[in-house]
Amino acid sequence: GLTKDRDGFSALDQEDIEAVERGYTNYLYLKWPGIFTRVHVLMMGIYIYNNSPEKDPTWSTLTERFDLWKASWLAFKTKPILGWGTGQIEVAVEFGLQKNSSPMVGSNIRSHNQYFSILLLWGVVGFIAFFALYAYFVYSSRANKIFIFNIFLIALALNGLVNDPIEGQIGQNFFVFFSVFYYYFYPKIKTEVQFIFYLS
């Protein structure tokens, strides 16, 4: 309830100052559980984004993603068949941000959506080829018969809606390791365990 000026700032106590230094922008966040704080930040971000004339996306990471997805869609429509090429995601997203006159121009950031990332890299042709080859890999190995592998695929697919996990080294390692593990090692281990159980 303090005014946002020198007098208001001078009236803050030590606890308030430490909260500001830790990034808390609302006194309620000191009392609420973390999940409530996160939801409130997202809701406020969406409210401000929808009600500000300039559609300012910088109030939350979710509204920033809205701008990135709009920019990615615009960039994809510019080169839909073969895409922008490997290594050009940031260039493509920046193109879309500039066309949309977004406040995020110059952020040098990816689309934060794995499906948009593939479309921007290789267009519709590459998108279809990528998923067709992976589907063949899964069904030829019969890995889709393994319950845990299906959980892995669902988690990866959902994460891809709001992030681009396989664009970074850690995400690629995660994706490749578990794909290969369930393709080759897991069925082999399962067979050996069943054989040992049968002998015993």
pLDDT digits (tens, 9 = 90+) for 10-42: 888 888 888 888 877 777 788 888 788 888 888
Please give the Cα distance from 172 to 169 (Å, whole number): 5
Which residue's structure tokens are 């159980």?
197
In contact, 155 and 149? CB cutoff 8 Å: no
Please give the Cα distance from 163 to 61 (Å, whole number): 11
Greatest mean pLDDT among 29-43, 84-98, 185-199: 84-98
Q: Which pLDDT belongs to residue 13?
A: 84
Band (pLDDT 50/70/90 cuts) for residue 196 is low
DSSP 106-126: T-----S-HHHHHHHHHHHHH
Please give the Cα distance from 133 to 39 (Å, whole number): 38
Share of the chain above pLDDT 90, in %: 36
Please give the Cα distance from 167 to 122 (Å, whole number): 13
Helices (H) and strands (E) in the chain, counts: 9, 0
pLDDT in tens, 93-107: 999 999 988 888 888
What average pLDDT does the structure give for the chain? 85
Please give the Cα distance from 69 to 136 (Å, whole number): 29
The distance of Cα 162 from the centroid of its chain, to the nearest Å, equals 3
Instruction: Check residues 33 and 84 and name the one with the higher pLDDT.
Output: 84
Instruction: Check residues 195 and 147 and name the one with the higher pLDDT.
Output: 147
